[in-house]
Structure 1
């Protein structure tokens, strides 16, 4: 039994997601190893988060689940439908939900497939795409960084890398958005049913795509994965399909939030934006600070399963418990970062931020994220050094707590 704490926080609540800073600061100070109402331990201090990410022996990624408040994670017989049980099995086939040696085997195949066509080879295509989107934005005069620009760049790039047909991109992206409902406590039967149907559709689409590429390989990641498995080792069909989904999330859906939020943060700190416009060597440090300061999921980013009984900061963790690592919370720990709630692209020798994880599961999409972010920031700075920020008090999207609803800017005339 786990005793409830005085800080009974709903980590999936919109009000919390919209402005989590004060709550996370209180958790770090008063209850850094927090037993949440959702049935998992939630960690908020940098050292604890880093330790869990790097200690694969005591904190397993295999079948880590989501805690006790998500039906997909339950194994009590009657709680799961046949579809939910099938999705649980499929999710467990994702290499980010595995330990060595399976994680090592599949990750090496993915890295090998990525290496066949370097990210740098995509520069001309990404630059052209950014220019096309910014041309359209310029014609509008006032545009939304989220829906008119940042949303499209990584989604199109990720779709092209994987091999998703242009006519299917919108439905594929919408299906992933709908299936997000399955990663949080059930809020309504309608959203849950829509999430289940979206997940089924994604599974059917990817399986069909894999079968097509086996018969007729193309210049895309699925074909390269199939070629890599033939050279280096076998993937079963579920592992291959899950790898494709994982890559899409890592290379696509998370990057869209990073680009829009990053440009907003820089424009909201005009002295730093002006410095970056004048000195492009600041783009790299700016990307680091954006990733540290504004991790899109401030609360429940990464989960692990405790493999042995242990005590952490006076709390008794039992083997089998789920632990959630608050990457965004750790990135704001004052013991790791001086004045952590200040956005500052001039930080001197900060601690390594947690946004891409640490250890064996370090994000394979990190290089692509930086690459797209660098091109996007430079392109906007080149065109509009005096770009005006219209939205000065943004709020999170009620349908997608990990991104802003709207970030309006105005092109100077």
Structure 2
């Protein structure tokens, strides 16, 4: 099978094509997206830490210097929102913003949420069981992380309904070669989401609370503070990243378990496997399959010079199935302990919310194992068409 991110057959199971890419070499030019594909674990892991690559180039070059066309003016609201979040910045701005966010988003802050996360997971699963089943995505996978990150940031419950649609529309721009309709939805969501957050931030400035937005407003270090746009962009990033991958990971994990009944039986027999099971399920079917980087200075990969101005696609999904990094990589092993997966990235852009994501995934898995021990799928789910953010349209289950 060829690497074809727009083919439903490829999206359904990209792993044979990844294996071919790894066998053929360390780097491959892909003309349709004008990117260099990097499929092997050692290279992806090293390049995530290599400062010759960046999530942006605008801290060093103009679009013209870099041989790139500026984004259309109509897309400006999306880019203003996206480009001021730490995911798409490089030092020194990235360093400053991440340091300020880390002052507010502490391990203690996350740990304080543990009782709430487990109580909410138990309530959601309890409702699913009382109904005799339903869509695991809308009943458990989606409401849990959306509620948790909204609670953490201090978004009132009555305001939470648009968060997931806004996030989905914005994240559409992260797919390969998004079309104009996708861009228009992302722009509209960026405008609405930003306007809502500016109002909420103004309220919190006037009346601070015990929430993360109040802490981000107050966070300062050696005279540094987040600008107004950085604050909005950081809140959107935390909201989007705080649930998007977790939603897809939860549903994808259970679909993987249903297709590996012997592993699911082992997990049901020993719920103590949950921590390693979470890591293995994140590795086996990676929720974010591809991350892009710009080449800021010429770099050599496996004898191929990748020139400055190029874009590299780091194939996380392929790296997580590399036999050079994992024993029996195509085998699901929920007891796997030697598991250097890169599903949370690496280097300066390592996911700041990884501990929260792990907590949420473990909480919903534990609640489903305890309260729905006979959980089973009703039918095969439909897969969403995108490659970068890998997910299902839903997962109907019965108990």
Q: Is the shorter-chain TM-score for this pair beyond 0.5, marking a shared fold? A: yes
Q: Equivalent residue for 1:374? A: 362
| 2:292 aligns with one of 303, 306, 313 | 303
Shift of 1:12: 4.5
Structure 1 residues 370 and 232: alpha-carbon distance in aligned structure 2, compared to 1, 3 A threshold: farther
SS at match of 2:220: helix
Q: 133-142 or 363-372, which moves further after superposition? A: 133-142
Deviation at 1:89, TM superposition (A): 3.9
1:105 maps to which of 96, 100, 111: 96
> Aligned-pair distance for 1:142?
2.6
Q: Which runs of 5+ in 2 are unaligned?
A: 60-65
> After superposition, where does 1:168-179 map in structure 2 within 5 Å?
168-179=159-170
Count of residue pairs the alignment pairs up: 391
CA contact (8 A) 2:382 2:392 kept: yes
Q: Aligned with 2:28: secondary structure?
A: strand
The reply to whether residue 44 of structure 1 matches residue 49 of structure 2 is no
1:321 aligns with 2:310: yes
How far does residue 380 in structure 1 lie from its aligned partner after superposition? 1.1
In 1: Cα distance, 2:209 partner to 2:344 partner: 30
1:272 counterpart = 2:275: no
1:239 and 2:226 correspond: no
Query: What CA distance in whole angstroms lies between the structure 1 residues aligned with 2:116 and 2:162?
Result: 23
Q: Which moved more, 1:288-297 or 1:227-236?
A: 227-236
1:290-343: CA deviation from partner (whole Å, max 9, x where unpaired): 111111132x2x222212212212322111211121111100111111221111
Say whether the 8 Å CA contact 2:296–2:308 is kept in structure 1.
yes
Q: Does 1:76 align with 2:69?
A: yes
**Paired position in structure 2 for 1:202:** 193
TM-superposed CA distance for 1:268, in Å, is 2.9
CA deviations on 1:158-202 (whole Å, 9 max, x unpaired) are 111122222222212111212233233556543332222112112
Counterpart of 1:35 in structure 2 is 29
SS in 1 for 2:155: coil
Structure 2: how far apart are the matches of 1:74 and 1:219? 46
SS at match of 1:263: helix
- Give the match for residue 20 of structure 1: 14
Q: How much has 1:399 moved relative to structure 2?
A: 7.4
C-alpha separation in 1, matches of 2:107 and 2:328? 42
1:404 is the counterpart of 2:392: yes
176-185 or 219-228, which deviates more:
176-185
SS at match of 2:209: coil
Q: How does 1:158-169 map to 2 (within 5 A)?
A: 158-169=149-160
2:56 corresponds, among 40, 58, 62, to: 62
Distance 1:181 1:370, change over 3 A: closer
| CA–CA separation in structure 2 for the residues paired with 1:186 and 1:50 | 25
Tell me how large the CA RMSD over aligned residues is: 2.5
Greater displacement, 208-217 / 401-410? 401-410
Name the CA shift for 1:334/1:185 in 2 (closer, same or farther; >3 Å).
Answer: closer
Secondary structure of residue in 1 paired with 2:151: helix
Q: 1:385-404: per-residue Cα shift (whole Å, max 9, x none)?
A: 2322333x433124796211
Aligned to 1:140: 131
Change (3 A) 1:182 1:308: same
CA distance in 1, matches of 2:219, 2:313: 33
In structure 1, list runs of 5 or more residues that go unmatched: 1-6, 66-72
Shift of 1:131: 2.2
- TM-superposed deviation, 1:49: 0.2
1:253 corresponds to which of 234, 241, 244: 244
Deviation at 1:13, TM superposition (A): 4.5
Contact map agreement 2:126 2:371 (CA 8 A) in 1 = no
Q: Is the 8 A contact 2:81 2:233 kept in 1?
A: yes
Deviations 1:109-150 (A, max 9, x none): 111102285222222222221222122211221322212211
Counterpart of 2:381 (choices 373, 391, 394) is: 394
Could you tell me how far 1:363 is from its partner in structure 2?
0.6
> Secondary structure, in 3 states, of the residue corresponding to 2:105?
helix
Please state how far the C-alpha of 1:86 moved relative to its aligned partner: 4.6
Does 1:131 pair with 2:105? no
Q: Which moved more, 1:159-168 or 1:329-338?
A: 159-168
